[in-house]
């Protein structure tokens, strides 16, 4: 079985996000960027399925600027077989990304698509569900455990109340949670090897898709920050403040 | 123009998140001067239907009653929403794992955008939502004919119930599309309040060192009738189950009082609790970032402090 994995390049999770002073968007100049953490889990899961003999080829796909190729190279260094880069300078909405990924699914005919449960920049949590809908495939979101056969997958999903297990028909789109696995680091020799692996480059325009924005961003602003309060010296003081100053207990 | 709210429930009881979602719908209804219907999709949901009909401001409760909807499988839920959506200007569901599962799927089938986790309603087509783990807020305007929206429950009060007298109407339920099958749910049972609706939360992090030590936290929680939460590190280490996790990828909470114990205060954790009214931090490291958002900080060893706190709360 072939697996397609969606990979997005985002602001590194350790970096504090900053808004441009004029409120026109995020300030990402010179900021450290990384592969979306959930997508590392998705790539890792594909690798494990390949190591288990269930999967024979792993193709990673990223939609974004030229720099998105960094994240694809990382996926190749982790062990993916080849990559597809869809070039666009525009920030696209999840519906547009899903439509673009669909074209690659139709071209590659994978038996499974793995994506992250959410991109940590837009925090949308939509692309996998949307892609699954457009393909009329089954879906499993927030997946923290996955058992795969040719016809079906049994997945454990992290839901608000605990855990849910479902069985889905293949082919399927599975969105992965952080606890699915522990992503491996790319070793130096593998980083070198990754440079030789194939990377197909496609211009978004050449896909002739309607990816027009449905949402207009009117303003981006920093959310209100809290300021540090006081340091109390002991439990008695804390309890007193909570009772008599804050009135919360 | 009419608004459709998708009720979250477990076939027996209405989830509190539905009432927060309803509040957002009421704000919208005021802006757009329109009515609100509620969809209850499930199997034998009589009590849920009754609860929904009593919510103030609801016109009609639509009941889609079928085995195909019992477990809220995303494929069937999305199909059900799609059959109704063309009659509505807005479709709202809570931004919980329930709503996040099928709403984007339904949106894609309708070829419209989904607006995730709105935290405020500006007008009938303009909304505010957090991005980058809540570090920034965007104001965005939708041009879609049907606005598919999930609602950040902590950003809206619970809607009032009791005065409503909506009619309950049976509608045709979709057939099972046969793509997925429910196997089981392991729901954490707890006597304590539920995290997302609790007034007081006490959360533990890696500083607790193991699951056993959470007993120290439970003792304090019980004195305060508080819910118990955790950082991702504590969940990953297996101290507590996944549904305790507070943060960017766990639950977003905003209680009156949030006590963070042995939690450093990573961006991703703050994303889930920084809208709490009062924050207390207990940590040995005075440099821990959690102190930058805490109203009251106690630089001390949690293994000394928790028993003392439990004692002091009598
Ligand atoms: C994509 C992504 C998503 C994430 N989502 C989440 C999320 O939703 N929620 C979340 O919480 N994290 C999330 N994280 C992880 C987050 O970045 C941090 O790693 C995590 O929050 C750290 O947990 P912690 O504070 O318990 O552990 P640590 O950072 O290890 O902090 C432990 C703290 O305990 C203190 N301590 C130790 N011993 C004692 C003692 N005896 N008494 C008092 N204090 C003590 C230490 O001083 C330290 O400050 C996410 C990370 C990524 C990359
Ligand atoms: N530009 C992109 N290129 C490739 N995959 C993407 C892109 N955007 C989102 N995805 C995938 O969809 C997941 C969810 O993203 P989102 O719906 O934006 O939260 C991500 O974790 C990726 O796996």
**Which DSSP state fits B226?**
-
* Nearest ligand 2 atom to alpha carbon A128: 12
Q: Can you give the pLDDT at residue B185?
A: 97
The band of A239, judged by pLDDT with boundaries at 50, 70 and 90, is very high
Please tell me the distance between residue B307's alpha carbon and the centre of ligand 1 in angstroms: 22
Instruction: Return mean pLDDT, chain B.
Output: 97
Nearest CA to ligand 2 atom 13: A116
CATH number for the domain spanning A151: value is 3.40.50.620
Closest CA to A201 of A61, A102, A97: A61
Q: Tell me how far apart the alpha carbons of residues A120 and A107 are, in angstroms, rounded to a whole number.
A: 28
**What secondary structure does DSSP assign to A185-242, as a single string?**
PPPHHHHHHHTTS-EEEEEGGGG------SEEEEEEEEPPPP---EE-SSHHHHHHII
- Which of A126, A127, A178, A209 for a ligand 2 pocket mutation test, highest count of atoms within 8 Å of Cβ? A127
Q: Which residues pair with B1 in a beta bridge?
A: none
Q: What are phi and psi of B232, to 5 degrees?
A: -65, -40
Is the pLDDT at B110 greater than 90? The verdict is yes
Q: Tell me how far apart the alpha carbons of residues A151 and A111 are, in angstroms, rounded to a whole number.
A: 9
Can you tell me the mean pLDDT for B92-118?
98
Please tell me the distance between residue A6's alpha carbon and the centre of ligand 2 in angstroms: 6
- Spatial contact of B85 and B110, defined as CB atoms under 8 Å apart: yes
- Tell me whether residue A163 is in a domain: yes
Q: Can you give the pLDDT at residue B32?
A: 85
- Tell me whether residue A226 is in a domain: yes
Percent of chain A residues topping a pLDDT of 90? 98
B167-171 and B200-204 strand pairing: unpaired
- Tell me whether residue A113 is in a domain: yes
HSE of A182, CA atoms in CB hemisphere, 13 A: 2
Instruction: Return mean pLDDT, chain A.
Output: 97
* Nearest ligand 2 atom to alpha carbon A61: 4
Is the pLDDT at A149 greater than 90? The verdict is no
- Tell me whether residue A249 is in a domain: no
Can you tell me the mean pLDDT for A212-236?
96
Q: Which domain holds residue A239?
A: 2-244
- Spatial contact of A107 and A223, defined as CB atoms under 8 Å apart: no
CA distance A120 to chain B (A): 6
Cα distances (angstroms) measured from residue B151 to each of A49, B11, B118, B157, B190: 36, 21, 5, 11, 26
Q: Which residues line ligand 2 (CB under 6 A)?
A: A 6-8, 36, 38-39, 42, 61-64, 94, 97, 115-116, 118-119, 122, 124-128
Number of domains composing chain A: 1
ipTM: 0.97
Percent of chain B residues topping a pLDDT of 70? 100
- Tell me whether residue A224 is in a domain: yes
The whole-angstrom distance between residue B142's C-alpha and the CA centroid of its chain comes to 23
The band of A85, judged by pLDDT with boundaries at 50, 70 and 90, is very high
Is the pLDDT at A46 greater than 90? The verdict is yes
- Tell me whether residue A84 is in a domain: yes
CA distance B39 to chain A (A): 21
- Spatial contact of A2 and A108, defined as CB atoms under 8 Å apart: yes
Q: Tell me how far apart the alpha carbons of residues B310 and B220 are, in angstroms, rounded to a whole number.
A: 5
- The least confident of B12-16, B30-34, B74-78 is B30-34
Q: Can you give the pLDDT at residue B263?
A: 98
Q: Tell me how far apart the alpha carbons of residues B78 and A197 are, in angstroms, rounded to a whole number.
A: 39
Tens digit of pLDDT for each residue in B144-187? 999 999 999 999 999 999 999 999 999 999 999 999 999 999 99
Contacts of B115 in chain A (CB under 8 A): 215
Tens digit of pLDDT for each residue in A112-131? 999 999 999 999 999 999 99
The band of B85, judged by pLDDT with boundaries at 50, 70 and 90, is very high
- Tell me whether residue A81 is in a domain: yes
Can you tell me the mean pLDDT for B61-78?
98
Nearest CA to ligand 2 atom 20: A116
Inter-chain CB proximity A158 and B114 less than 8 Å: no
- The pTM of the whole model exceeds 0.95: yes
Q: Can you give the pLDDT at residue B172?
A: 98
Is the pLDDT at A225 greater than 90? The verdict is no
- Tell me whether residue A203 is in a domain: yes
Q: Can you give the pLDDT at residue B284?
A: 98
The residues, any chain, with a CB within 8 Å of residue B303's CB and separated by 6 or more, are B213, B216
Inter-chain CB proximity B140 and A218 less than 8 Å: yes
Inter-chain CB proximity A168 and B180 less than 8 Å: yes
């Amino acid at each position: 079985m072939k697996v397609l994995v969606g990979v997005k390049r985002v602001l590194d999770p350790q970096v504090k996000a900053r808004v441009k002073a004029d409120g026109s968007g995020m300030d990402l100049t010179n900021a450290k960027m990384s592969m979306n953490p959930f997508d590392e889990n998705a790539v890792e899961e594909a690798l494990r399925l390949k190591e288990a003999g269930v999967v024979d080829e792993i193709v990673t796909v990223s939609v974004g600027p030229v720099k998105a190729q960094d994240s694809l190279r990382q996926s190749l260094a982790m062990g993916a077989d080849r990559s597809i880069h869809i070039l666009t300078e525009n920030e696209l909405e999840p519906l547009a990304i899903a439509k673009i990924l669909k074209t690659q699914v139709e071209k590659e005919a994978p038996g499974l698509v793995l994506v992250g449960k959410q991109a940590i920049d837009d925090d949308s949590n939509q692309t996998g569900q949307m892609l699954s809908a457009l393909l009329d495939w089954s879906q499993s979101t927030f997946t923290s455990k996955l058992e795969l056969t040719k016809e079906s997958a049994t997945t454990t999903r992290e839901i608000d109340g605990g855990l849910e297990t479902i069985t889905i028909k293949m082919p399927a789109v599975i969105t992965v949670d952080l606890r699915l696995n522990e992503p491996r680091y790319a070793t130096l020799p593998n980083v070198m090897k990754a440079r030789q692996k194939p990377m197909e480059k496609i211009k978004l325009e050449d896909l002739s898709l309607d990816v027009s924005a449905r949402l207009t961003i009117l303003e981006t602003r920093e959310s209100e920050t809290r300021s540090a309060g006081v340091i109390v010296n002991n439990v008695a003081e804390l309890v007193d403040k909570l009772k008599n100053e804050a009135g919360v207990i | 123009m009419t608004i459709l709210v998708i009720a979250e429930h477990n076939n027996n009881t209405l989830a509190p998140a539905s009432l927060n979602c309803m509040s957002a719908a009421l704000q919208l209804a005021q802006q757009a001067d329109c009515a609100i219907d509620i969809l209850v999709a499930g199997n034998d949901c009589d009590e849920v239907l009754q609860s929904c009909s009593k919510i103030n401001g609801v016109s009609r409760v639509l009941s889609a009653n079928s085995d195909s909807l019992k477990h809220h499988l995303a494929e069937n839920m999305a199909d059900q929403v799609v059959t109704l959506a063309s009659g509505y200007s807005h479709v709202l569901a809570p931004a919980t794992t329930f709503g996040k599962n099928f709403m984007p799927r339904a949106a894609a089938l309708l070829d419209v955008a989904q607006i995730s986790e709105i935290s405020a309603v500006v007008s009938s087509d303009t909304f505010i939502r957090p991005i980058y783990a809540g570090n920034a807020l965007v104001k965005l305007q939708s041009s879609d004919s049907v606005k598919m929206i999930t609602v950040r429950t902590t950003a809206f009060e619970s809607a009032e119930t009791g005065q409503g007298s909506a009619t309950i109407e049976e509608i045709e339920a979709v057939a099972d599309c046969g793509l997925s099958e429910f196997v089981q749910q392991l729901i954490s049972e707890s006597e304590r309040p539920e995290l997302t609706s609790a007034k007081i939360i006490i959360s533990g992090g890696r500083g607790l060192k193991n699951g056993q030590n959470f007993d120290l936290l439970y003792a304090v929680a019980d004195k305060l009738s508080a819910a118990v939460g955790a950082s991702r590190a504590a969940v990953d280490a297996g101290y507590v189950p996944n549904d305790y996790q507070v943060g960017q990828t766990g639950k977003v909470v905003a209680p009156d009082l949030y006590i963070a114990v042995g939690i450093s205060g990573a961006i991703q954790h703050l994303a889930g609790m920084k809208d709490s009214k009062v924050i207390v931090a207990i940590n040995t490291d005075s440099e821990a970032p959690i102190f930058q958002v805490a109203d009251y900080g106690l630089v001390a060893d949690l293994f000394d402090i928790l028993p003392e706190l439990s004692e002091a709360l009598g």
